[in-house]
């Protein structure tokens, strides 16, 4: 039996994978045993899932093998689903076994949150992972194929309903605006028969952006055939429709996708952590309150901004910054050194509206629109790939191709 401290990282998303990589740089093999647990043997770029769902990129482009960036001889890789964390006995219960830990990093990502909307969980697709996104891609194309084969099929079979106008919803719609004309050409269907409808309870889309950027985004999408139903509450999701608004208007569709909300992994609740809207509000050093050896990162954590008393946005750049602080603090704990407080370095936000369009705020307030924003989005994506996988993965998976 090894008497070295055991560090267990749960999840190989942005936060978990980068934490693991940083730990292998900071600690020699004789200083600690490192274990990475992930459901799949691959990492996927969560911020690319909307492209997989729309069918504008191949699912394999959005993922890479964990063993290509993490040396299995240095880190023990376990491919299994996490069921629960037993904090008292310091063990993690998996579907096919269990593992003990001295230090634990919980970075299990998000799950879809339907906010109790009737029928949404049962009837709508959600952009959660590679498999769920692939299902959406296949469903959309199936509807085109069925419509082409059956002249009596109602035009609503070609309608794509998207619930939610946040980041994922709008980026997905932007990709659909690119993909739908291609599908229409492939199946010889009049583009005017295909409707892309976005339904949002709030009065505007993309609340994280300034009004002029939002106006640009809406016009860009509307010019490409997207319809917006803003200020419209979704009362119910049926097998083939949304029921919306005070008048209970029914909008029929062949494909329904919910992007209106996410929450932290349900493992947190099962494990007895104190939660706020499904996430753990962590201490300044990213530890779970009351637990000196448990860190919670990424979409599982609320990390508070003391200036605004609000949590930082749960973005990929934040998750990777969580990882840097977490790895540093684990090493500090091992050697009894002072821990570091997390400080978020906001490098800006960019949203794509398709392959060659987008909006963004970067470099402390510089606004980008159109192709310049789309180019910056690719820079952001490539930087993420490089930080997680290095040059080899960047050249293999990165968006380094011209428009």
Q: Which residues are catalytic?
A: 171
| Helix or strand (DSSP H, E) at 317 | helix 316-334
Q: How many residues does the chain have?
A: 403
Single out the residue of 144, 225, 152 nearest to residue 189, CA to CA.
Answer: 144
Helices (H), 119-253: 120-123, 130-149, 167-187, 211-223
Using alpha carbons, select from 310, 315, 316, 321 the residue that is nearest to residue 286: 321
Helix (H) or strand (E) holding 54: helix 49-54
Rounded to 10°, the helix 167-187/130-149 angle is 30
**Residue 243 and residue 250 in contact, taking contact as beta carbons nearer than 8 Å:** yes
Instruction: Tell me the torsion sign for CA atoms 325, 327, 333, 338.
Output: negative
Residues 6+ apart with CB under 8 A from 23: 7, 9, 32, 34, 327, 330, 331
Going along 45-164, which residue ranges are E strands? 63-65, 75-79, 82-86, 91-94, 97-100, 103-106, 110-112, 125-126, 160-163
Maximum Cα–Cα distance across the chain: 73
Taking the C-alpha atoms of residue 39 and residue 132, their distance in angstroms, rounded to an integer, is 15
Residue 220, helix vs strand vs coil: helix
């Amino acid at each position: 039996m090894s008497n070295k401290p055991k560090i267990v990282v749960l999840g190989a998303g942005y936060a978990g994978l980068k934490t693991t990589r940083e730990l292998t740089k900071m600690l020699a093999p004789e200083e600690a045993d490192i274990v990475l647990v992930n459901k799949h043997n691959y990492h996927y770029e969560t911020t690319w899932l909307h492209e997989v769902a729309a069918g504008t990129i191949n699912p394999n482009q959005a993922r890479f093998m964990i063993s290509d960036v993490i040396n299995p001889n240095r880190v023990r890789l376990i491919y299994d689903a996490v069921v629960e964390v037993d904090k008292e006995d310091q063990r993690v219960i998996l579907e096919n076994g269990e593992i003990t830990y001295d230090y634990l990093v919980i970075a299990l990502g998000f799950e879809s949150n339907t906010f109790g909307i009737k029928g949404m969980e049962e009837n709508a697709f959600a952009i959660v992972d590679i498999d769920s996104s692939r299902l959406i891609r296949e469903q959309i194309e199936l509807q085109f194929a069925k419509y082409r084969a059956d002249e009596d099929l109602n035009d609503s079979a070609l309608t794509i309903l998207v619930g939610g106008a946040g980041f994922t919803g709008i980026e997905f719609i932007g990709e659909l605006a690119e993909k739908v004309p291609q599908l229409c050409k492939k199946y010889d269907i009049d583009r005017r028969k295909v409707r892309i409808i976005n339904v949002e309870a709030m009065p505007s889309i993309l609340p994280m952006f300034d009004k002029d950027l939002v106006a640009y985004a809406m016009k860009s999408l509307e010019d490409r055939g997207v319809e917006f139903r803003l200020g419209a509450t979704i009362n119910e999701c049926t097998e083939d429709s949304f029921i919306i608004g005070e008048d209970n208007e029914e909008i029929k569709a062949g494909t329904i996708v919910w992007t209106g909300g996410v929450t932290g992994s349900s493992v947190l609740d099962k494990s007895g952590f104190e939660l706020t809207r499904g996430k753990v509000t962590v201490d300044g050093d990213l530890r779970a309150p009351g637990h000196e050896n448990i860190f919670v990162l990424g979409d599982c954590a609320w990390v508070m901004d003391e200036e605004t008393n609000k949590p930082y946005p749960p973005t990929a750049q934040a998750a990777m910054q969580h990882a840097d602080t977490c790895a540093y603090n684990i090493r500090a704990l091992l050697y009894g050194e002072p821990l570091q407080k997390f400080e978020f370095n906001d490098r800006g936000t960019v949203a794509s509206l398709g392959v060659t369009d987008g909006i963004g705020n970067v470099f402390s307030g510089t606004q980008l629109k159109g192709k310049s924003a789309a180019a910056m989005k690719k820079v952001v994506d490539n930087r993420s790939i490089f930080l997680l996988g290095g040059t080899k993965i960047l050249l293999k998976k990165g968006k380094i191709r011209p428009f």
